[in-house]
């Protein structure tokens, strides 16, 4: 692929240069402890490489939603030590009110984290004065936060117009993987789209039917499509007001030669809780007091056969109510099939979204996919075919 953005390889000598690096350090915390350090680990490659090359590395990030107010519970001071432990070198916290003096005194190869960018009310508005204030602290700008690239904020978009701008290693890997998956994929391409609601993924579904050869629909949203095809889904989660929209998507898929795969056998229960009494039935045999909570084993096996005939897979959302056993069975089985095909070299597999990452981790196969994106909103907007401001700003 012809890249339209510069990477760390294009930066030249960075010794003594102040490099502003936008990372996503918005990690979940409980009682002052980081409960999932995935995003901290993702930031290491870029920050460590620049520090090793002698740059003064100033990490920019947001934490929580302080809405332009200073809130000590959302200070990045809380993340500085956890990041230092993951990075394996000293990291200093930089209070933004004395940032210029602190950065001036930094040694080459030193790493600092600037206070939460969202404490400044101009950050989310991409205000020119906020962009100027941040730009004055650096000589070069690196955006390594794909997960925040769908936001046109001062630290994610504005800075790319003020300083020489480059993609970090995580951003570079993400953009390369996404290009392989939907930009210039090897066909046949399959997409797995799951999750609870059609309403949250309408634009994704509309875009995908034009792009992929096989669209596999699971999760609660499959019930809405089944209802559109005249199936009685009992008391399953179902957006009955969107059955007309589901029919339109099915029609569009037909015109685009995209085969839509809906479950034909399902796992049902009368109550939604861990390990209730269940039945596996044909979709036309769901009783009025039952709810569909997972794709059945026969349909899951058939979907595995679909993947065996594909070269590329994009996955967003679980196949069933995966967080409640035994309704994780279809997600785990299909994920294991995709992982095995990836390992043997016959499938390029790209997955993204919070629920999806959790489901793949539960199946124990996240490391076997070609690429797993930690981005939520940005991954969805990319699946919708939208231009992401943070990415577009790098491509000038």
- For 287-297, the pLDDT digits (tens) are 999 999 999 99
E strands, the chain, in order: 18-22, 29-30, 33-34, 56-60, 91-94, 111-114, 140-143, 165-167, 189-193, 214-217, 259-261, 265-269, 278-282, 291-295, 312-316, 348-352, 371-373
204 within some domain: yes
Quickly state the pLDDT bin for 326 (edges 50, 70, 90): very high
pLDDT of residue 56: 99
Residues 213 and 334 in one domain: yes
Cα distance between residue 34 and residue 82, in whole Å: 7
394 within some domain: no
Percentage of the residues of the chain whose pLDDT score is greater than 70: 99
Residues 103 and 234 in one domain: no
393 within some domain: no
Q: Order of strands, edge to edge, in the sheet holding 56-60? A: 91-94, 111-114, 56-60, 18-22, 140-143, 165-167
Indicate the SS3 state at residue 164.
coil
Residues 122 and 217 in one domain: no
Please answer whether residues 151 and 159 qualify as being in contact, where contact means their C-beta atoms are separated by less than 8 angstroms: no
Residues 197 and 106 in one domain: no
Residues 307 and 230 in one domain: yes
Domain termination residue (choose one: 148, 171, 194): 171
Taking the model in full, what pTM does it have?
0.86
Cα distance between residue 21 and residue 30, in whole Å: 26
Residues 165 and 268 in one domain: no
pLDDT of residue 384: 86
Residues 191 and 167 in one domain: no
Once rounded to an integer, what is the mean pLDDT over residues 32-39? 88
Q: Does residue 258 surpass a pLDDT of 80?
A: yes
pLDDT tens for residues 203-221? 999 999 999 999 999 999 9
Please state the three-class secondary structure of 273-340 as a single string: CCCCCEEEEEHHHCCCCCEEEEECHHHHHHHHHHHHCCCEEEEECCCCCCCCCCCCHHHHHHHHHHHH
pLDDT tens for residues 94-146? 998 899 999 999 999 999 999 999 999 999 999 999 999 999 999 999 999 99
Q: Does residue 340 surpass a pLDDT of 60?
A: yes
76 within some domain: yes
Mean residue pLDDT of the chain comes to 95
Q: Does residue 178 surpass a pLDDT of 90?
A: no
Residues 21 and 90 in one domain: yes
Looking at 254-263, 292-301, 351-360, which range is the least confident one?
351-360
302 within some domain: yes
Residue 219 in tokens = 């999760």
C-alpha distances (whole Å) from 248 to each of 121, 134, 199, 245, 255 are 42, 47, 14, 5, 11
Q: Does residue 1 surpass a pLDDT of 60?
A: no
Residues 145 and 191 in one domain: no
Residues 193 and 326 in one domain: yes
Domain termination residue (choose one: 131, 146, 171): 171
Positions marked catalytic = 39, 197, 354, 377
How many domains is the chain built from?
Answer: 2
Once rounded to an integer, what is the mean pLDDT over residues 47-69? 97
Which domain does 224 fall in, by range? Answer: 185-364
Residues 212 and 305 in one domain: yes
**CATH number of the domain enclosing 162:** 3.40.50.1260
Residues 41 and 146 in one domain: yes
372 within some domain: no
111 within some domain: yes
């Amino acid at each position: 692929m012809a890249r339209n953005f510069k990477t760390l390889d294009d930066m030249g000598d960075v010794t003594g240069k102040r490099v502003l690096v936008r990372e996503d350090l918005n990690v979940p915390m409980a009682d002052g402890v980081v409960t999932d350090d995935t995003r901290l680990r993702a930031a290491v490659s870029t920050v460590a490489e620049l520090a090793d090359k002698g740059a003064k590395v100033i990490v920019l990030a947001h934490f929580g939603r302080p809405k332009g107010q200073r809130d000590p519970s959302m200070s990045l001071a809380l993340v500085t030590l956890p990041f230092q432990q993951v990075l394996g070198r000293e990291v200093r916290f930089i209070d933004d009110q004395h940032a210029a003096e602190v950065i001036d005194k930094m040694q080459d190869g030193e790493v600092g984290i600037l206070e939460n960018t969202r404490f400044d009310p101009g950050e989310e508005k991409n205000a020119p004065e906020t962009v100027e204030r941040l730009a004055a602290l650096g000589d070069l700008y690196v955006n390594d936060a794909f997960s925040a690239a769908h936001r046109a904020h001062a630290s994610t978009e504005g800075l790319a117009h003020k300083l020489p701008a480059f993609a970090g290693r995580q951003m570079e890997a993400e953009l390369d993987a996404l290009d392989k998956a939907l930009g210039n994929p090897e066909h046949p391409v399959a997409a797995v789209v799951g999750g609870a609601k059609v309403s949250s993924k309408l634009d994704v579904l509309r875009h995908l039917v034009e792009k992929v050869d096989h669209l596999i629909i699971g999760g609660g949203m499959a019930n809405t499509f089944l209802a559109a095809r005249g199936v009685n889904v009992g008391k399953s989660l179902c957006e009955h007001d969107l059955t007309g929209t589901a029919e339109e998507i099915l029609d569009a898929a037909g015109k685009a030669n995209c085969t839509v795969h809906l479950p034909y056998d399902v796992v049902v229960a009368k109550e939604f809780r861990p390990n209730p009494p269940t039945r596996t039935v044909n979709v036309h045999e769901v009783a009025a007091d039952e709810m569909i909570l997972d794709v059945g084993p026969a349909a899951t096996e058939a979907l595995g056969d679909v993947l065996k005939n594909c070269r590329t897979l994009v996955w967003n959302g679980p196949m069933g109510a995966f967080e409640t056993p035994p309704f994780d069975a279809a997600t785990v089985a299909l994920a294991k099939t995709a992982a095995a095909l990836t390992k043997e070299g016959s499938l390029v597999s790209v997955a993204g979204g919070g629920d999806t990452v959790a489901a793949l981790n539960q199946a124990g196969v996240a490391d076997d996919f070609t690429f797993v994106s930690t981005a939520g909103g940005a991954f969805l907007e990319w699946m919708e075919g939208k231009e992401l401001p943070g990415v577009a700003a790098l491509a000038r």
